């Protein structure tokens, strides 16, 4: 049974900001070959795609937010695993199944690497590096993580160091 998010829109608390946006509408990514990328997005990831321009298509899933994917050929800028897109599924078993399928269909969809599922930062997930060096985290969270993160509020003061030297994800290399 699909989860339906009834309250996806809210009034952002931006009274003190210079820009007063009402919504964060989109992001962008790059791809080598739009046709191959679209196949992976639709057939493997389950995203809805529409080619809205000659060099680009948009994709979305579940919310009124879309990503513009621009075909740039060999000018793709590989991303690190810390620069990834998240996809939520409804159980740990679905995470495990998706990971197994990513490994099984690695050649078919030109998946570069599949990391094993782990329990980290409050979710059970794994990462996939796709054919365009974009990273995807397929995760299960017991609840709706977006709402919880903002409802919980700041957990660390901004004066505390982020301590990037201890980020194990920085050791993961693109393939």
Q: Is the pLDDT of residue 79 over 90?
A: yes
Residue 18 lies in a domain: no
Residue 8 lies in a domain: no
Residue 64 lies in a domain: yes
Output the CA torsion 19→20→21→22 (10° steps).
180
Which band of pLDDT confidence, cut at 50, 70 and 90, is reported for residue 4? Answer: low
Residue 172 lies in a domain: no
Residue 118 lies in a domain: yes
Q: Which token pair is 63?
A: 């919310």
| pLDDT tens profile 161-174 | 888 888 788 888 89
Q: Which domain holds residue 83?
A: 26-154
Q: Is the pLDDT of residue 146 over 80?
A: no
pTM here? 0.89
Number of domains in the chain: 1
161 or 68: which carries more pLDDT confidence?
Answer: 68
Beta strand segments in the chain, E: 26-31, 48-53, 56-60, 66-71, 84-88, 113-114, 118-120, 123-129, 135-140
Q: What angle do CA 163, 169, 173 make, to 5 degrees?
A: 135
Residue 61 lies in a domain: yes
Residue 167 lies in a domain: no
Q: What is the CATH number for 123?
A: 3.10.180.10
């Amino acid at each position: 049974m699909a989860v339906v998010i009834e309250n996806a829109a809210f009034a952002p608390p931006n009274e003190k900001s210079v820009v007063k946006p009402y919504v964060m509408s989109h992001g962008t990514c790059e791809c080598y070959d739009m046709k191959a990328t679209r196949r992976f997005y639709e057939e493997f990831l389950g995203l809805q795609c529409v080619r809205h321009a000659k060099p680009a298509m948009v994709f979305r899933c579940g919310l009124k937010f879309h990503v513009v994917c621009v075909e740039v050929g060999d000018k793709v800028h590989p991303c690190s695993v810390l620069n990834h897109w998240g996809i939520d599924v409804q159980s740990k078993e679905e995470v495990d199944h998706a990971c197994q399928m990513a490994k099984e269909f690695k050649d078919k969809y030109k998946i570069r690497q599949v990391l094993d599922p782990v329990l980290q930062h409050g979710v059970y997930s794994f990462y996939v590096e796709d054919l365009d060096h974009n990273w995807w985290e397929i995760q299960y969270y017991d609840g709706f993580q977006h709402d919880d993160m903002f409802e919980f509020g700041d957990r660390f003061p901004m004066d505390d160091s982020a301590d990037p030297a201890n980020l194990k994800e920085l050791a993961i290399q693109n393939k």
